[in-house]
Each structure stands twice: as structure tokens, then as C-alpha cells.
Amino acid sequence: MLVFTKERLAFLAVPKTGSTAYQSALSGRADLVIRNPPELKHAPLYRYNRFFRPMFEKICGSEMETLAVMREPVSWLGSWYRYRRRPVMAGHPNATDHVTFDEFVLAYLDGDRPGFANVGSQAKFLEPRPNGTAITHLFRYETPRRLKVFLEDRLDITLSLRRENVSPEMDLVLSPDVERRLRQKCAEEFDLYDSI
């Protein structure tokens, strides 16, 4: 998470959406950078609302706007699959080197997800809270120029990004049946992405 108090902006770090690259590029400009533990770096909106929002409102005197990036759902799952397939993961319970991408997604769709497929949900991460707290600015991972222009204008900077924490390259295609099941069971993910 990155916080810019003067600009009243909190950048929530959705996992596997380039958040490490933005953190590296903006950490010198941010007033608060939360790098660790991952549960705080990647605090979802409900955790931000409960713990961070009240503190920021008290300190800043007004509500902060929130910003986040969302990745196309199949691509997001593919990034997790590839990330957990790195050689360093061999033998780890969360490794995906023993399953196909279809098997990974089917495990993700299971009500009792095994560790390797327990990667959360972007829609749940970004879900508005009953008190009205919601993501103010939501950007697509696949169109980074819009976010770059927004940040440069809002923070009065020139932003230079480099790729970091990149999952290994690999062609991944879901079988039509598995993709249909994913789109049906996780419709809220696709609906939210299509609304951006």
C-alpha cells in the first residue's frame, strides 16, 4: 500500500497487478509505504476500511480516495499459476509444477481450495463496504497508460516504471469447459472487470 497524504490518496496493492513496480517507482514520493508483512502490503478494502481509513481520516482531517488495479480474471489466475511454478517453488506445498492450468483453475473453483490454488479473489479484495467505503479509482492492469497519466497528474510527477516480480513467461489457455465454469462460478470477477 502507498499513501499520499497531501493528495488524499491511498493506492491499495492488489496482488499480481504490478503493485511491486508501482511501489518501487513511487516509494520516494509516498508518505507511507507498507512493504511487509504481505497481509498489510496487500490489505484489501475491508482491512483498509477497518484499520487504515479511521487513522487516515483522523490525521488528514478528511476521507482519502482509494486507487487500485484489477487484472483480467483469467490472466490474473494465469499469473498466480506461473508465479507458483517457478523453480524456487519446487517441493513447496503451494507449487503448481504438478498440475496443468486447467487443474489449477478447477482447484480454484473448488469450495475447499488446496493451498496451491488458494489465491483469493480480486472482487472480494475490492468489495465496497456497508459504510460506503469503496474504491474511488479503479484501473485495468492491461491499460497501464491510463493509470500512468492519472498518477502523473495527481502527484505532479513523471512516472518511470520497470517490470518487477514478474511471473515466468508461459502460454496458458483454458479449455472451453473450464473457462465456462470459471466465468459462471466467478461471474462477479468478470462483471467487475468489465465495468472498468
Task: Give the mean pLDDT per block of 10 residues along the chain (196 residues).
Answer: 95 96 95 91 96 90 92 97 94 94 97 94 97 96 97 96 81 96 98 98
pLDDT in tens, 72-94: 999 999 999 999 999 999 999 99
Q: In the prediction, which pLDDT does 131 show?
A: 93
Cis before 15? omega within 30: no
What residues contact 155, with CB distance under 8 A and at least 6 apart?
A: 4, 7, 9, 26, 29
Q: In the prediction, which pLDDT does 74 show?
A: 98
Q: In the prediction, which pLDDT does 80 show?
A: 96
Q: CATH number of the domain at 2-195, please?
A: 3.40.50
User: Residue 67 pairs with which residues in a beta bridge?
Assistant: 11, 137
Q: In the prediction, which pLDDT does 163 show?
A: 84
Domain ranges of the chain: 2-195
Q: In the prediction, which pLDDT does 77 show?
A: 98
